[in-house]
Amino acid sequence: MVYSYKAIIFDCDGVIVDTENISNSIMRSMLQQEGLQIDDKLLHERFSGFPNRENIKTAEAMLGRSLPESFDDDYRKRFHAVIDQHLEPITGVRELLQKVTTPIAMATNARRKEMNFKLSKIQLEETFAIRFCVEDVVHGKPAPDLYLKAADALNVAPEDCIVIEDSVAGIKAAKAAGMRVLAFSETLEADLQMRAGATQCFDTMKQLEELLGLS
């Protein structure tokens, strides 16, 4: 099936840059050090794709106590130390973006400094001239605010936008915004993504090209 659309809005982590596994690994390790054991299913359902402040609240509720005040800063230091050395674009995404002719934007739960660093590192800053981060809205994903803001900037109605996502939080956000969601299933189970509201799932960027009518 080839979808019709007037604009495409991309998530960043796990869709454009290969950071989701890095982020999840660091978060899991740090939570284990605090005595919280989480499996893959729980990690993807409750933590992956959510703002760090929400992840901290979730972990504290599960632990029944507060995490150290330095937890967020420690996480970000470890995360940046890794991606500074190992950040790569998702396989095939650069080629896909070169074929897109409709307006595009980025909407991410990352902070602005992190978003800009990642795009600069993989040389896609100019490609995503229209981009929004969690600091641009009152409520990050899974609220629809980021995707609605991106659609407004593109001057395209939400129902005419296709969103490229991977996380449960992001899929729910796009769905709440009234947009169709194509979900990248490389690191997350397709069944979980479909239950979150994905319109269809794909395993490679080549498959996404076909769904977008770019191949």
* Domains along the sequence of the chain with CATH: 7-18+87-211 (3.40.50.1000), 20-86 (1.10.150.240)
Tokens of 212: 């977008």
State pTM to two decimals: 0.83
Tens-digit pLDDT profile for the chain (215 aa)? 899 999 999 999 999 998 877 888 899 999 999 999 988 888 878 888 788 888 999 999 999 999 999 999 999 899 888 888 888 899 999 999 999 999 999 999 999 999 999 999 999 999 999 999 999 999 999 999 999 999 999 999 999 999 999 999 999 999 999 999 999 998 788 999 999 999 999 999 999 999 999 98
Alpha-carbon distance of 139 to 109, in angstroms, equals 10
Continuous segment of H or E residues that includes residue 184: strand 180-184
- Residue 9 forms beta bridges with which residues? 105, 163
